[in-house]
Structure 1
Amino acid sequence: MVRGDLAVFPFLSVMQMFLTSGRAGRLIVEHIRGGQLWLERGEIVHAEAGRLRGEHALQCMASLDGGIFTFEVGQEPPNRTLALRRDMALRRLLDDSEGWTALSRTFPDWNQRLRFSAKWNDAQPVTRAQYRVLSLVGDSQNIRMLLERSPDAPRVTLETLRPFLMAGLIELG
């Protein structure tokens, strides 16, 4: 078992180390945006983050900038939702992590709840995709749960909500 702190060892560096080593096992990250990744011979074969699985879970974990990680050698995946070899996996994680930069500043704490502000009114024009995401705002206990309930990828969901938050139509509370 290997343990460490992602504030000291960045997530991408940790992933590079484990993928390059070719070890098989489960990487667990304890954090509000954390989850679990299963690796086999330099390949990511499965990801889970809360109720998210596969691509959406991996994208969520790419946002990590902290947390405690544990790598358990020899743990078998419960499922196979991904087939990303080392170079492709690292490229995907790098691209996703760069895409999270602005969103992480806008939505820093996924334990917070989003709610409609007093500026919101029912005549507010929205697209069908925006409506689908906005309909989750009142029903979710926090941002993490909202992302788990959304049919869209986590980044797409937060990118949809971001202009409404910046305009003061929804707020963190």
Structure 2
Amino acid sequence: MRRVGNYELGRTIGEGTFAKVKFARNTETGKSVAVKILAKSTILKHRMVDQIKKEISIMKIVRHPNIVRLHEVLASRTKIYIILEFVTGGELFDKIVQQGKLPEDETRQHFQHLIDAVDYCHSKGVYHRDLKPENLLLDYQGNLKISDFGLSALPQQGVGLLHTTCGTPNYVAPEVHSF
């Protein structure tokens, strides 16, 4: 089994365009974590250095029960390892696909968690900009947790509006497409 720092890496639990997420166990504490692995060559090739630095700095700022927690960041010569809280319940998207319409009381609880976390982020000057069911995870108790701050923004002091268009096309508001 491959090791990174105090972590034994296991199976792949997610894959994105630029990263792979693996299950891992802290060999000192026995706690489970998720490890987001980014190849430095890919980051350089796609000019994503500033974006990755921003994502990590944002994850260090946001500490809330409804946001996936950043534990630490490690690096090797070729890779960056972002050690995150392991959230066992999977994506809200998968639950909706599997179950269809969710019960109203459960949906209300998820919405309350989402609004609490978004309000907290905004109070810290953090704007996620890619909220969608695939980026909302559920823990073993059904609590919602926001993940993937890759498109987030930290506007400079005094700036009221963000002017870059971003987000997942299927979820972006129609008026954003008109730019």
TM-score tier (shorter) = under 0.3
TM-score scaled by structure 2?
0.25
Structure 1 length normalisation: TM-score?
0.25
